[in-house]
Homo-oligomer: A and B are copies of this chain.
């Protein structure tokens, strides 16, 4: 999809960036922390001065400053001195450690008893200890999660460059389709694909411009394909049946029919075309097939386009032998089971049109057609379904 100029970026506020994909590398612009920072409430001091301090023989220090939060200390610490400092505050010059308030006692106006020796850098985060100026923290292509937002906030990023979500239109075709709310009648089937594809698109970070239903009518489908979008997803009307006009229409309108018929199972009737500006993807009519083809084809394309690094699969041991389908790559739905410290993938059997198979599945693995099948205890890559 690269040559279609699908990688446009925009700047968004950090607080609006959740779920987008980073279009810039995130680099530390400053040391974090920028100063030696206390991690406790207590007193900043020179650790060497507390050598041998004990309950019976405390070290006595002069309190020279009560350092407020967020300010630079005014006084450097000399031998025999200490300054009061709270968690998160800046250590004064000359101090190399904190002693917790619980280990001390204020004896007079400015006299502090320290009952325990402090070691150098006790309860102190040193300059640059979290992050050094110039450190590469995140590579572009990363999905922005709460963790990314937390780190970017600490690095002083008020705005982030993100990829503009691709705009998708969804079209379900078929005379037999009813909306979920309609009264069912014999021979009809409910339109699942436009709802499922809309949710999948939203989940993957596409922007859904609209979804609609067209009857098996050339003119109706043609019209729906004229709308503006980056990607048009059409489900149904793409198998080799007589009323499957889609390939025909794409051929008429757009010279760029890329392929028709995918060597995968489910999902044989998949069609992909482009007019150089938009991608048209014809998905199978069967809800489970189109769901898996979306995951395997569209989500994977997105990963490649942006170099997304988030894990899409997890390795698990296959719980049963699985035969391969000659000449076709199979996408086998599975559920997970943890047993004996191992993660098992249990194949769910059932017709590829059965939504109960999808509802019960947590992922799928790919069985290549050149393989003879997979055996129990083979390690397989299970791709997530949600």
Contacts and interface: CB of A to CB of B under 8 A. Distances in A.
B152 A89 contact: no
Contact of A192 (B35, B153, B352): B153
Contacts of A68: 175
Given A130-B355, A137-B359, A315-B338, A147 B386 contact: yes
Contact of A190 (B37, B154, B192, B359): B154
B18 A131 contact: no
Interface in A122-179: 125, 129-131, 135, 137-138, 145-159, 174-177, 179
A125 B200 CA distance: 26
A353 B130 contact: yes
A379 interface: yes
A130 B192 CA distance: 14
A187 B341 contact: no
B356 A137 contact: yes
Contacts of A157: 180
Contacts of A148: 359
A189 B156 contact: no
A90 B100 CA distance: 78
Contacts of A87: 239, 241, 285-286
Contacts of A88: 174, 176, 189, 285
A107 interface: no
Contacts of A32: 355
A317 interface: yes
Interface in A70-99: 70-73, 86-90
Contacts of A101: 240
Contacts of A125: 351, 353-354
Contact of A359 (B41, B70, B151, B352): B151
B196 A180 contact: no
Interface in A336-376: 338, 341-343, 350-356, 358-359, 361
A129 B186 contact: no
A88 B216 CA distance: 13
A287 B150 contact: yes
Contact of A385 (B147, B198, B200): B147
23 contacts: A34-B184, A39-B351, A41-B239, A69-B175, A69-B187, A69-B243, A70-B174, A70-B187, A86-B241, A86-B243, A125-B353, A130-B350, A130-B351, A131-B356, A147-B196, A147-B385, A150-B196, A150-B359, A151-B359, A153-B180, A153-B191, A154-B287, A315-B343
Interface of A: 14-15, 18, 30, 32-35, 37, 39, 41, 68-73, 86-90, 101, 125, 129-131, 135, 137-138, 145-159, 174-177, 179-182, 184-192, 195-196, 198-200, 202-203, 211, 216, 239-243, 285-287, 291, 314-315, 317, 338, 341-343, 350-356, 358-359, 361, 379, 385-386
